[in-house]
Amino acid sequence: MATLTIINYPDPRLHTVAKPVLAVNDEIRQLVSDMAETMYAAPGIGLAATQVDQHIQLIVIDTTKEQNNLQVFINPKIVAKSGLTEYEEGCLSVPGVYETVTRAENVRVEALDENGKKFTSDAGDLLAICIQHEIDHLLGKVFVEYLSPLKRNRIRKRLIKQAREFEKNAD
């Protein structure tokens, strides 16, 4: 097991479109394990492979309080959605930023599990929001892109300043 480095916005690598996983093998299962460890340590309730600089269609999610129900989605595809809901979202790649985003209230998602078996899941509530947030990451989209250009640029400038200060203090 290993915790992986999470890329921070506005790193351009976050805008990479992830490629489909062609074979669910031990290498993929090791990445699932490392991503889960990284997510729990953050702490977060979801993590996309894009965020750890692995540009393949893989997300891990655990919305339980007990952090004991890891869900793995490989090559996830939303095949149906309904309703609308608003939620104040955060993102492990955009530390300290919480903004309201409107998304579908319910989604039906098709994916492969960590054994390569196809499954379909109907999700609502926080799970539905998280699935959409993570699939956005696989499409190279960060949630701040739903905000106004003014807000997004303020966030970008603040995070660049924070990163520079962090690097200066590390020297």
Chain positions contacting ligand K2U, by CB under 6 A: 44-48, 87, 89-93, 126, 129-130, 133-134, 137
Query: Is 134 known to be catalytic?
Result: yes
CA distance 149 to 140: 17
The one-character DSSP state at 10 is T
Catalytic residue from among 89, 99, 114, 134: 134
| Burial per residue of 114-147, b for 16 or more beta-carbon CB atoms within 10 angstroms, e otherwise | beeeeeeeebeeebbbbbbbbbbbbebbbbbebb
Residue number with the smallest Cβ distance to ligand K2U: 44
Phi, psi of 27, deg, nearest 5: -65, -45
Task: Kindly state the number of chain residues that form the binding site for Zn ion, as judged by CB under 5 A.
Answer: 1
By C-beta, is 116 or 140 nearer to Zn ion? 140
Nearer to ligand K2U, 41 or 160 (CB): 41
Using CB under 5 A as the binding rule, the residues of this chain from 73 to 132 that contact Zn ion are: 91
Catalytic residues: 134
